Amino acid sequence: MLFQLSKTLGLFALTALAEIIGCYLPYLWLKQGHSAWLLVPAALSLAAFAWLLTLHPQAAGRVYAAYGGVYISVALLWLWAVDSVKPSVADFIGVGFCLLGMSIIMFAPRPG
């Protein structure tokens, strides 16, 4: 169970990173005047994001729902590491609830 949890969280974290990078690079182009060439790695990153979501054995809707909790966690780490804004205690509490929800969605026993 612990290995499955670690594997799922790691895959979700990698997926979130691909999505964030795929959205951040166009942001740099549109809002900060960086090169339009950033759209090429952005597109590749978003393609990787979509592919990574397909690697989970659960139903797509369940994966998408649970992924949101991990995305929020990675986005807060991005806020801290890239934007240099330290998350608040409330942010960390919120992330805890998101990860709890993700765990329930992905790992709760189901009939059949």
Number of domains in the chain: 1
pLDDT at residue 4, as a whole number: 79
Q: Is residue 71 part of a domain?
A: yes
Q: Is residue 95 part of a domain?
A: yes
Q: Is residue 36 part of a domain?
A: yes
Exposure string for 7-28, b = 16+ CB within 10 A, e = fewer: ebbebbebbbbbbbbbebbbee
Q: Is residue 31 part of a domain?
A: yes
In the block, which residue shows the tokens 């969280």? 9
Q: Is residue 112 part of a domain?
A: no
pLDDT at residue 56, as a whole number: 85
Give CA–CA dist 95/99, Å, rounded.
Answer: 6
pLDDT at residue 92, as a whole number: 95
Residues of the domain holding 103: 2-107
pLDDT tens string 31-59 = 999 999 999 999 999 999 999 999 988 88
| Each residue's pLDDT expressed in tens, for the chain with a length of 112 residues | 678 778 888 899 999 999 999 999 999 999 999 999 999 999 999 999 999 999 988 888 888 888 888 899 999 999 999 999 999 999 999 999 999 998 898 888 888 7
